[in-house]
A and B are shown apart, each in its own frame.
Chain A
Amino acid sequence: MSNEYTSSEMMTVTAAKALENGMTCFVGIGLPSEAANLARLTHAPDVVLIYESGTLQTKPDVLPLSIGDGELCESALTTVSVPEMFRYWLQGGKIDVGFLGTAQIDRYCNLNTTLIGDYQSPKVRLPGGGGAPEIATCAGEVFITLKHSKRTFVNDVDFITTLGFGRDGKARDGVPNIGRGPTRVITDLCVMKPDPETKELVVVSLHPGVTRDDVIEATGWEIRFADQLETTPTPDARELEVLRDLKARTERKHAGEA
């Protein structure tokens, strides 16, 4: 099998590698779900995947189209009510990592999934916060994955739906019982981490073939790069094979449901 891969595959494989075996992960739908299940099917067979629909320790054979697909329930250790999910499991501190996507992100990892424009007369109304506001503050840490573009990486998010580190990078300071917040952002171009002091996102690793200019072009603020800038490891043949199988299975399943 050829080791050629797309930038989307690069993003998913890199995001998957962020999850360690045995972690408990509260999974968002879409890209996070794809990455988390790839992790489970490759290097992290004992990663515990939890979806906000109440499915605890689920092992879906195909990726869910919605957060409440029957597949998630059928392959789960158990399914609890939604209040139990948020109160006992998330707020109760049982989640190591929350894995989120977003529509907009800024330099302090604040996430906007509410709207573009002004709240009272929005240009574009987005679905809203869902589980993210509390996942981001109650989970031990947060991984974020999304495609890199000027539309998504903006200087100021139009609305803070979900806290990264606030508009000044200090919003978690002194708050009791709060998680560490975002610890890495994985895109189709690079991996970023918040600066330990200022909390501003810094590019720590470029994907192979991606230049600094590519990242600068796709970012809505003057993005910083780490002094020791690394190159992200390429996906290996097995990771690509498992990912492609998973996506093909998923496509077949969803196309067949009429």
Chain B
Amino acid sequence: MAEFLSLHDAVARYVEDGATVAMEGFTHLIPFAAGHEVIRQRKRDLTLIRMTPDLVYDQLIGAGCAKKLIFSWGGNPGVGSLHRLRDAVEKGWPHKVEIFEHSHAAMACAFEAGAAGLPLAVLRGYVGSELPSVNHQIKYIECPFTGERLAAVPSVRPDVSLVHAQKADRKGNVLVEGIIGVQKEAILAADKSIVTVEEVVDDLGASPNACVIPGWAIDAIAVAEKGAYPSYAHGYYPRDNRFYKEWDAIARDRDTFQVWIDDNVYNAGGQAQ
């Protein structure tokens, strides 16, 4: 049963140094507040998983939290590169980050397989791509029924997943609306899960087929108002496209990045300004 905790206490209890952590959000509902809390608590040696690592992963990597990154598209959407990720991969600053690179299809399948309790995901993927030559996690199997050669990747089974959602009710049941990405799969695939929400309500008001994650499938709920900012929360606030553009200049330089992280994460209560 989901326990209502402060974000500080949820991260302190469930995110351990060296853990495999998925903070999901497919360009929507990105758990910035949770990511910043992980940075503030100076978690180290994390294996970070996410299909579309963007600014918050750039911040985690630049702050030295990550040892390994499993991903399928790492960029600043509509803007360009993630300079902290690039600096880590190209120059080893603040230290080298090992990368395991996939395609979206494979990672989406891997999350789904993790949620389904399977050890692997099977897909018709990577045909002719050179990604399998640089990522030993991509292998092939033969379909026992048709003989077709199919790609196989290990399922995603994070130690802990952190996602952001619009709202929870008082029993900790969570409603996710809009672009739902792999949020549900991330929660169900993980050993422990933390969901940050904009607000807690008496009644979710969900339609019968809405994306509702039951409270008994979640470990901790933390209220984090504007917890996805500068990304957006459908029905609550829009994406701050200007900040995404500004991030390009902030992250390009190690010193400006350091100043930003000090001002907005280490010395700030909880959210990006």
Chain A residues in the interface with B (C-beta under 8 A): 29-30, 52-55, 64-70, 72-73, 79, 81-83, 85-87, 90-91, 110, 114, 119, 121-134, 137-138, 159-163, 166, 171-172, 175-178, 254, 257-258
Chain B residues in the interface with A (C-beta under 8 A): 26-28, 51-52, 71-75, 77-79, 81-82, 85-86, 89-90, 101-106, 108-109, 111-112, 123-131, 134, 148, 178-182, 184-185, 211, 232, 234, 238-242, 244
Cα-based distance from A66 to B242 in the complex (angstroms): 13
B89 touches A125 (CB 8 A): yes
A130 touches B179 (CB 8 A): no
| A54, A83, A122 — most chain B CB neighbours (10 Å) | A83
Residues of A within 8 A of B234 (CB): 70, 73
Residues of B within 8 A of A67 (CB): 26-27, 77
B185 touches A83 (CB 8 A): yes
Instruction: Please count the residue pairs between chain A and chain B whose beta carbons lie under 8 angstroms apart in the complex.
Output: 183
Q: Please tell me which one of the listed residues B71, B127, B211 contacts residue A137 in the complex, with CB atoms under 8 A apart.
A: B127
Residues of B within 8 A of A128 (CB): 71-75, 101
Cα-based distance from A168 to B125 in the complex (angstroms): 20
Q: Please tell me which one of the listed residues B72, B82, B182 contacts residue A129 in the complex, with CB atoms under 8 A apart.
A: B72
A130 touches B103 (CB 8 A): yes
Cα-based distance from A128 to B181 in the complex (angstroms): 18
Cα-based distance from A175 to B140 in the complex (angstroms): 14
Question: Distance (Å) between the CB of B142 and the closest chain A CB?
Answer: 12
- Interface of A: prevailing SS: loop
Residue of B nearest to A166 (CB): B128
A137 touches B124 (CB 8 A): yes
Cα-based distance from A3 to B5 in the complex (angstroms): 62
A129 touches B73 (CB 8 A): yes
Residues of A within 8 A of B244 (CB): 65-66
Residues of A within 8 A of B75 (CB): 126-128
Given A131-B104, A257-B240, A82 contacting B181 (CB threshold 8 A): yes
Q: Please tell me which one of the listed residues A54, A133, A175 contacts residue B129 in the complex, with CB atoms under 8 A apart.
A: A133
Residues of A within 8 A of B241 (CB): 65, 254, 257
Cα-based distance from A132 to B239 in the complex (angstroms): 25
Q: Please tell me which one of the listed residues B79, B86, B134 contacts residue A125 in the complex, with CB atoms under 8 A apart.
A: B86
Question: Distance (Å) between the CB of B149 and the closest chain A CB?
Answer: 9
Residue of A nearest to B83 (CB): A125
Given A69-B239, A257-B240, A86 contacting B109 (CB threshold 8 A): yes
Extra pairs beyond A85-B108, A124-B90, A128-B71 (14, CB < 8 Å): A68-B77, A70-B178, A81-B180, A81-B181, A83-B111, A91-B123, A124-B86, A128-B75, A133-B103, A133-B125, A161-B130, A163-B127, A257-B239, A257-B242
Residues of B within 8 A of A64 (CB): 78
Q: Please tell me which one of the listed residues A53, A66, A132 contacts residue B78 in the complex, with CB atoms under 8 A apart.
A: A66
B89 touches A172 (CB 8 A): no
Cα-based distance from A125 to B84 in the complex (angstroms): 11
Q: Please tell me which one of the listed residues B102, B129, B179, B240 contacts residue A53 in the complex, with CB atoms under 8 A apart.
A: B179
Residues of A within 8 A of B112 (CB): 83, 87
Given A53-B26, A82-B26, A163-B127, A68 contacting B179 (CB threshold 8 A): yes
* 4 closest residue pairs by CB, A with B: A68-B27, A163-B128, A66-B77, A127-B75
A177 touches B148 (CB 8 A): yes
